[in-house]
């Protein structure tokens, strides 16, 4: 480029601060844009992560095994035998974080005052806790102690709806394999609260062995829920489990069990890029304007540099170096501000004022920003690459000034 | 072969309905090592001729050759290279880069040429001393008087040892003593290093230093004569 990079950088740096007010305003704009890119993306990621986490924990598991037809008719007719040795070997291997077998059938729950349709879930409490049921969610009483525990745990919202309380008896009614009514009385031993309030109304937990006995299922089960170590890539574990099961078993990852969530996650990456580009486009008008003003004020100087022997390409390079310096400074400030904001808000943002709307989307009322390195790199890359592209036109125009005309400007 | 050869140079400017003749069939031959002053009233074409020879402005017609190379046919990058390596400019308005110090302004051309740091610094400090600006190397143009700025501009023009120096009113803001020193410096460069000088000036005292005096009027050369220099 005809001039050492260090000398060009020094000249560019000094030119940046000739009009320090304008430079500061532009820096603030870039920093704000970068902050918005990174911070808002982290909130979106956090929201999607939360939705996926909530959705996966409601399923539960990253992978589920059912009998074919169960998902269309989740009754006791479509049950599975307990896991055999081949499946147990996979489920107990290092690839699996946790697993549990469950009964899950539609049922009717009745108190003295009211009744409601629910999903009766027969669980092994140890497995259920490993799958993500949080012990802290129990707000009254206790969770089940064993798979043969005779108690029942209901949601807080359901408790109020049934106008009953901890310690009272309720009756649960469902269907057995002969299509006959199967019913049993349970004592409420625990009340749980969930971030998604609809879960409190729809799910009731009883001991797996007790439910199997109530429904006359023997040792059959409705589903096996399996937890991977990373929810983002469940396909591999799904394939491994499929290999050890007969064809009439349906093995599905959460991406297939909840296509909405899967789509959300897949769309998220594309959305993040679009979001960043849109913010940058808004920024770019200011950047171009700043560069054009800086060039306009220095037309004579640019003419001088041409007259002294700088090639047009060197003029372009000079302007680009200035632009890149401005962008890098803005990036540093914006990145620090975004990371600082995310750290400060690591305990979450309470958006319970719009909690009901969030619940419809499957997200909780606490929003936790999630910073991914890929998003950080993407934001910085978008700003630098698009920034250089945006700066090319003003830089090229500067290089095309005829020296004699430029020198004659006042 | 002449160092500079100008043949039938024409440059016209449109001003409303009128056509202003910047250069009107100007032809000149200038040998290497010449020390020439261009004189004439404002608008006579002195600056236009300097700009044309230096490749800063285009011509409507005519040919210019420097060391046999046709300047009028060169592209932008080639013209930039020509100016960088062969020509030094001293402009009427000193035209210093305001964010650079005096020394950095002087070093600018050498930086673009790729001269090493140590040599650049040594030459720039020496030349600033020769033009009487020792101790002011680190001052920025805004901290220098008009005359001091002009001397920095002159230093910049000659520090890279060009073959040709084109100077437009180089002594305009200098006092007599500074003017004398500057012209002596020019003559030394001319005599010792055979640098060709083409100086546009109104100043009679400057004209006395020239070997050859070319007078212009309305874009034409009206007189071209040798004289005994100072």
Find which of A12, A307, A311 to mutate to test the B interface (most B CBs within 10 Å of its CB): A307
Write out pLDDT tens, residues A263-320: 877 787 788 888 888 888 888 888 888 888 888 888 888 889 989 989 999 999 999 9
Q: What is the pLDDT of residue A290?
A: 84
Q: How confident is the model at residue A213 (pLDDT cuts 50, 70, 90)?
A: very high
* pLDDT at A355 exceeding the cut of 80: no
* Record: contact B83-A309, CB cut-off 8 A: yes
Gap from B138 CA to chain A (nearest CA, Å) = 15
> How large is the average pLDDT for residues A18-34?
91
- What are A312's two structure tokens? 């047009």
- A10 with A148, same domain: the answer is no
* Record: contact A404-B77, CB cut-off 8 A: no
* pLDDT at A4 exceeding the cut of 90: no
Find which of B82, B108, B138 to mutate to test the A interface (most A CBs within 10 Å of its CB): B108
Share of chain A above pLDDT 90, in %: 48
Q: What is the pLDDT of residue A407?
A: 84
> How large is the average pLDDT for residues A132-150?
88
- A221 with A110, same domain: the answer is yes
Gap from A286 CA to chain B (nearest CA, Å) = 24
- A251 with A163, same domain: the answer is yes
B165 touches chain A (CB under 8 A): no
Residues of A in contact with B124 (CB under 8 A): none
* Record: contact A313-B77, CB cut-off 8 A: yes
Residues of A in contact with B99 (CB under 8 A): 11, 14-15, 18
* pLDDT at B115 exceeding the cut of 70: yes
A301 touches chain B (CB under 8 A): yes
Q: How confident is the model at residue B91 (pLDDT cuts 50, 70, 90)?
A: confident
* pLDDT at A1 exceeding the cut of 60: no
* pLDDT at A209 exceeding the cut of 90: yes
- A158 with A97, same domain: the answer is yes
- Select from A3, A15, A407 the Cβ nearest to the Cβ of B91: A407
CATH of region B33-57+76-226, choose from 3.40.50.300, 3.90.550.10, 1.10.1660.10, 1.50.10.10: 3.40.50.300
B57 touches chain A (CB under 8 A): yes
Contacts of B188 (CB under 8 A, 6+ apart): none
Q: What is the pLDDT of residue A218?
A: 92
- 3-state secondary structure (DSSP) of residue B121: helix
Write out pLDDT tens, residues A149-202: 999 999 999 999 999 999 999 999 999 988 899 999 999 999 999 877 888 999
* Record: contact B95-A304, CB cut-off 8 A: yes
- Tell me which of A192, A223, A257 is where a domain ends: A257
CA A143/CA A166 separation, integer angstroms: 12
Q: How confident is the model at residue A205 (pLDDT cuts 50, 70, 90)?
A: very high
B84 touches chain A (CB under 8 A): yes
- A82 with A211, same domain: the answer is yes
Residues of A in contact with B85 (CB under 8 A): 309
3-state secondary structure chain A: CCCCHHHHHHHHHHHHCCCHHHHHHHHHHHHHHHHHHHHHHHHHHHHHHHHHHHHHHHCCCCEEEEECCCCCCCCCCCCECCCCHHHHHHHCCCCCCEEEEEEEEEEEEECCCCEEEEEEEEECHHHHHHHCCCHHHEEEECCCCCCCCCEEEEEHHHHHHCCCCCCCEEEEEEECCCCCEEEEEEEEEEEECCCCHHHHHHEEEEEHHHHHHHHCCCCCECEEEEECCCCCCCHHHHHHHHHCCCCCEEEEEHHHHCHHHHHHHHHHHHHHHHHHHHHHHHHHHHHHHHHHHHHHCCHHHHHHHHHHCCCHHHHHHHHHHHHHHHHHHHHHHHHHHHHHHHHHCCCCEECHHHHHHHHHHCCCCEECCCCCHHHHHHHHHHHHHHHHHHHHHHHHHHHCCCHHHHHCCC
Per-domain residue ranges of chain B? 33-57+76-226
Q: How confident is the model at residue B227 (pLDDT cuts 50, 70, 90)?
A: confident
Write out pLDDT tens, residues B9-35: 999 988 888 888 899 999 999 999 999
* pLDDT at A125 exceeding the cut of 90: yes
Q: List the domain range (segments joined by +) for residue A325.
A: 5-55+262-407
- 3-state secondary structure (DSSP) of residue B36: strand
* Record: contact A311-B91, CB cut-off 8 A: no
Find which of A15, A309, A321, A322 to mutate to test the B interface (most B CBs within 10 Å of its CB): A309
> How large is the average pLDDT for residues A121-136?
86
User: Which secondary structure element, helix H or strand E, spans residue B187, and what is its range?
Assistant: helix B176-193
* Record: contact A308-B114, CB cut-off 8 A: no
CA B160/CA A284 separation, integer angstroms: 41
Strand partners, A155: A192
Q: How confident is the model at residue B161 (pLDDT cuts 50, 70, 90)?
A: confident
Q: What is the pLDDT of residue B47?
A: 92
Write out pLDDT tens, residues B56-71: 988 999 999 998 889 8
- A118 with A16, same domain: the answer is no
Q: What is the pLDDT of residue B164?
A: 94
Q: What is the pLDDT of residue B87?
A: 93
Gap from B224 CA to chain A (nearest CA, Å) = 26
Gap from A375 CA to chain B (nearest CA, Å) = 38
- A100 with A247, same domain: the answer is yes
Q: What is the pLDDT of residue A361?
A: 61
Chain A residue nearest residue B88, CA to CA: A308
- Select from A2, A404, A407 the Cβ nearest to the Cβ of B112: A2
- A82 with A180, same domain: the answer is yes
Higher-confidence position of A397 and A361? A397
* pLDDT at A214 exceeding the cut of 90: yes
- A380 with A272, same domain: the answer is yes
Contacts of A342 (CB under 8 A, 6+ apart): A38, A39, A42, A369, A371
Chain B residue nearest residue A17, CA to CA: B99
Closest CA to A388 of A333, A328, A323, A335: A323
Q: Residue A169 in contact with residue A187, Cβ under 8 Å?
A: yes
- A81 with A149, same domain: the answer is yes
Q: What is the pLDDT of residue A359?
A: 61
- What are A54's two structure tokens? 């909530």
Closest CA to A303 of A374, A406, A394, A181: A406
* pLDDT at A358 exceeding the cut of 70: no
* pLDDT at A133 exceeding the cut of 90: no
- Select from B51, B58, B109 the Cβ nearest to the Cβ of A308: B109
- Tell me which of A257, A282, A308 is where a domain ends: A257
Q: Residue B53 in contact with residue B4, Cβ under 8 Å?
A: yes
* pLDDT at B153 exceeding the cut of 80: yes
> How large is the average pLDDT for residues B96-116?
92
Number of domains in chain A: 2
Gap from A310 CA to chain B (nearest CA, Å) = 6
ipTM of this complex prediction, to 2 decimal places: 0.89
> Model-level pTM?
0.75
- 3-state secondary structure (DSSP) of residue B85: helix
CA distance from start to end of chain B: 27
Gap from B227 CA to chain A (nearest CA, Å) = 31
Average predicted confidence (pLDDT) for chain B: 90
Q: Residue A182 in contact with residue A214, Cβ under 8 Å?
A: yes
* pLDDT at B147 exceeding the cut of 90: no
- Tell me which of A242, A257, A272 is where a domain ends: A257
- A106 with A204, same domain: the answer is yes
Q: What is the pLDDT of residue B171?
A: 87
* pLDDT at B1 exceeding the cut of 60: no
- A113 with A42, same domain: the answer is no
- Select from B54, B76, B89 the Cβ nearest to the Cβ of A312: B76
């Amino acid at each position: 480029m005809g001039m050492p990079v260090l000398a060009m950088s020094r000249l560019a740096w000094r030119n940046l601060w000739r009009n320090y007010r304008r430079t500061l305003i532009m820096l603030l704009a870039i920093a704000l844009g970068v902050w918005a890119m990174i911070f808002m993306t982290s909130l979106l990621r956090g929201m999607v992560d939360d939705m996926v986490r909530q959705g996966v924990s409601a399923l539960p598991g990253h992978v589920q095994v059912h009998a074919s037809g169960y998902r269309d008719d989740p009754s006791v007719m479509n049950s599975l035998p307990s896991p055999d040795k081949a499946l147990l070997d996979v489920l107990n291997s290092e690839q699996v974080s946790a697993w549990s077998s469950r009964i899950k059938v539609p049922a009717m729950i009745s108190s003295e005052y009211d009744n409601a349709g629910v999903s009766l879930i027969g669980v092994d409490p140890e497995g259920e806790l490993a799958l993500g049921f949080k012990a802290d969610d129990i707000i009254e009483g206790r969770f089940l102690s064993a798979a043969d525990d005779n108690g029942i745990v209901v949601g807080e919202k359901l408790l109020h709806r049934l106008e009953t309380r901890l310690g009272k008896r309720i009756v649960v009614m469902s269907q057995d394999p002969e299509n006959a009514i199967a019913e049993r009385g349970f004592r409420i031993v625990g009340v749980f609260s969930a971030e998604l309030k609809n879960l409190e109304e729809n799910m009731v937990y009883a001991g797996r062995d007790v439910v199997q006995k109530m429904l006359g299922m023997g040792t059959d089960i409705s589903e096996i829920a399996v937890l991977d170590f990373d929810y983002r890539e469940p396909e591999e574990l799904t394939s491994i489990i499929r290999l050890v099961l007969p064809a009439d078993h349906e093995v599905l990852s959460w991406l297939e069990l909840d296509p909405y969530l899967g789509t959300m996650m897949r769309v998220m990456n594309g959305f993040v890029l679009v979001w960043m580009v849109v913010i940058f486009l808004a920024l770019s008008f200011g950047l171009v304007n700043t560069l054009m003003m800086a060039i306009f004020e220095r037309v004579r100087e640019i003419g001088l540099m041409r007259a002294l022997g700088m090639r047009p390409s060197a003029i372009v390079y000079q302007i680009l170096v200035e632009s890149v310096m401005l962008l890098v400074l803005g990036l540093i400030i914006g990145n620090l501000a975004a990371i600082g904001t995310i750290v400060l808000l690591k305990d979450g943002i309470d958006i319970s004022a719009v909690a009901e709307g969030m619940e419809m989307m499957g997200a909780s009322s606490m929003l936790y920003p999630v910073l991914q390195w890929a998003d950080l790199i993407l934001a910085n890359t978008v700003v630098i690459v698009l920034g250089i592209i945006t700066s090319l036109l003003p830089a090229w125009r500067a290089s095309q000034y005829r020296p004699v005309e430029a020198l004659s400007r006042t | 072969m002449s160092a500079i050869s100008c043949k039938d140079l024409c440059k016209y400017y449109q001003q409303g309905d009128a056509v202003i003749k910047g250069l009107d069939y100007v032809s000149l031959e200038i040998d290497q090592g010449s020390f020439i002053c261009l004189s004439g009233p404002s608008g006579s074409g002195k600056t236009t001729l300097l700009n044309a020879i230096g490749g800063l402005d285009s011509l409507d017609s005519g040919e210019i050759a420097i060391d046999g190379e046709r300047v009028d046919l060169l592209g932008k990058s080639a013209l930039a290279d020509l100016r960088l390596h062969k020509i030094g400019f001293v402009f009427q308005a000193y035209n210093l880069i305001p964010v650079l110090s005096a020394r950095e302004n002087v070093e600018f051309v050498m930086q673009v040429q790729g001269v090493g740091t140590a040599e650049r610094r040594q030459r720039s400090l020496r030349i600033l001393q020769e033009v009487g600006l020792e101790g002011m190397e680190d001052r920025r143009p805004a901290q220098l008087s008009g005359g001091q700025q002009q001397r920095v501009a002159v230093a910049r023009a000659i520090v890279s040892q060009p073959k040709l120096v084109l100077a437009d009113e180089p002594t305009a803001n200098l006092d007599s003593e500074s003017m004398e020193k500057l012209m002596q410096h020019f003559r030394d460069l001319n005599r010792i290093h055979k640098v060709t000088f083409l100086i546009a000036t109104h100043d009679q005292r400057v004209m006395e230093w020239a070997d050859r005096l070319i007078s212009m009027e309305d874009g034409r050369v009206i007189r071209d004569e040798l004289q005994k220099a100072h």
